[in-house]
Amino acid sequence: MPELQVSWRRLGVLVSGRGSNLQALIAAIGRRELEATIAVVISNVPGVAALDHAAAAGIETLVLPHTGWPRREAYDEALAEALHARNVEVVCLAGFMRRLSSRFLEVFQGPVLNVHPSLLPAFPGLDSPGQAVAHGVKVAGCTVHLVTAELDAGPIVAQTAVPVLPGDTGETLAARILVEEHRLLPAAVARVVAGGWRIDGRRFVDA
């Protein structure tokens, strides 16, 4: 008899801006390529387009501004508690431009995924496509990884390479990477929610 798999289905998506990766997740769920529900979309920035996309899809939205908290950890605890209150099992950072502390990971406990516009471990941090062009690499891309306390450094779930073309700027390269992010992120989230994986050292492998 096959072993029963634990599977996580209730997603919380954290955003800070445009929300195109959130839209890609919503579309993948609509096509049944991602068997999950987005229980809540939380933004640390009020008034961003991602909140409108969530509302248009009938998803609960919450704005939790990161300003005015006594400590970073206090904000991160409030964020984790808002997710717990909605029985969120897996968190997806989709353009969430704020670093999470280890306190968030301790309180939330479940898998937290991030999409990043570079082939990590190259070019962590901000404006990764611009960093890639300035460095002169010939291949750039995007990464979905599990979030750890170290910035953009957790176990890699999936990556897609994108060639850098002559004449590329950070903006033109970012636009081509984004197209790939929209494929990669839903597929990687589907892989994680399906279960049957484990972390071996810093590697994401089949269980």
Minimum distance from residue 4 beta carbon to ligand GAR (Å):
34
Residue whose CB is less far from ligand GAR, 96 or 108: 96
Structure-token pair, residue 163: 């060639």
Tell me which residues touch ligand GAR (CB under 6 A). Answer: 17-21, 50, 94-95, 115-117, 178, 181
Query: For residue 133, how far is the Cα from the chain centroid?
Result: 23
Minimum distance from residue 195 beta carbon to ligand GAR (Å):
25
Tell me the pairing of strands 139-146 and 156-163: antiparallel
Name 204's bridge partners. Answer: 199
State whether residue 17 is helix, strand or coil: coil
Residue whose CB is less far from ligand GAR, 36 or 178: 178
Residue whose CB is less far from ligand GAR, 172 or 200: 172
User: Residue 30 carries which DSSP code?
Assistant: H
Asked about 116 being catalytic, the answer comes back as yes
End-to-end CA distance of the chain: 17
Which is catalytic among the residues 116, 135, 145, 182?
A: 116
Which residues are identified as catalytic?
116
